[in-house]
Amino acid sequence: MKNIFDITGKVALVTGATHGLGMAMAKALAKAGATLVVNGHTPSKMETALQQYQQEGIDARGYLFDVTDELQVSEQIKLIEKEVGPIAVLVNNAGMIQRVPALEMAASDFRKVIDVDLVSPFILSQAVAKGMIQRGSGKIINICSMMSELGRDTVSAYAAAKGGLKMLTRNLATEWAKHNIQVNGIGPGYFATEQTAPIRVEGHPMNNFILERTPAGKWGDPDDLAGAVVFLASKASDFVNGQIIYVDGGILATIGKPREKSVK
């Protein structure tokens, strides 16, 4: 059975994989056998990231380009496939968020979030799918969010983009399934990363909210995403298409607080 999760020799491109959840998923793919290619846009971050990969015995290849620039994406995809090999797995992870009340958010900032979080996955998927169609196989994994399903104060642009990404996932799956391409998504919940460290302290309102709201009663560990990303990148998911797997400790499954006070 373990052979159906083996992705040895497959070239996997993960965007925004110089840190955080992107790096965690990239490491998981590499440890499952993939030849890893990581994207970023800051030279210093890329250098540090490649050193981190190397320390774990992962020979990652780094490519710097703007995922929202069609010309750069087209050129870099061609370069990656020439220098490394045909891309079999694409993980559209690069993203951004701006926490601004809707009444105060400039339209230009709204468009920027949409461009990074929704338009760039379309650009990357389109560029990579051309080769996948010729080869008759491919895996595209879009990193969605719980905001693909829920609203929240101050994240109107992010939620709009992630909701759109969920539907883009389903539409690309519909169009490309006949070419043996599976397009699915992962919706991470709240994870313990460097970015969330300031609010993951006892007594912080957000920390308390997450612990009370999550049935698992804890923040996710980035390694918790490993199973989902390897599954969607492997033969094990060959008949899974247009789906979003929410890795959230059960948040979306419940409307109430899971840890009720005991009744005496």
Cα four-point dihedral sign 119, 83, 24, 5: positive
Of 53, 63, 158, 246, the catalytic one is 158
Cα four-point dihedral sign 138, 144, 149, 155: negative
Closest CA to 29 of 141, 131, 177: 141
Residue 3, token pair as written in the block: 């052979």
Specify whether 158 is catalytic: yes
Bridge partners (DSSP) of residue 63 are: 39
Bridge partners (DSSP) of residue 142 are: 92, 185
Residue 79, token pair as written in the block: 């370069």
Residue 34, token pair as written in the block: 């993939």
Cβ count within 10 A of residue 41: 17
Identity of the amino acid at 115: D
Catalytic residues: 158
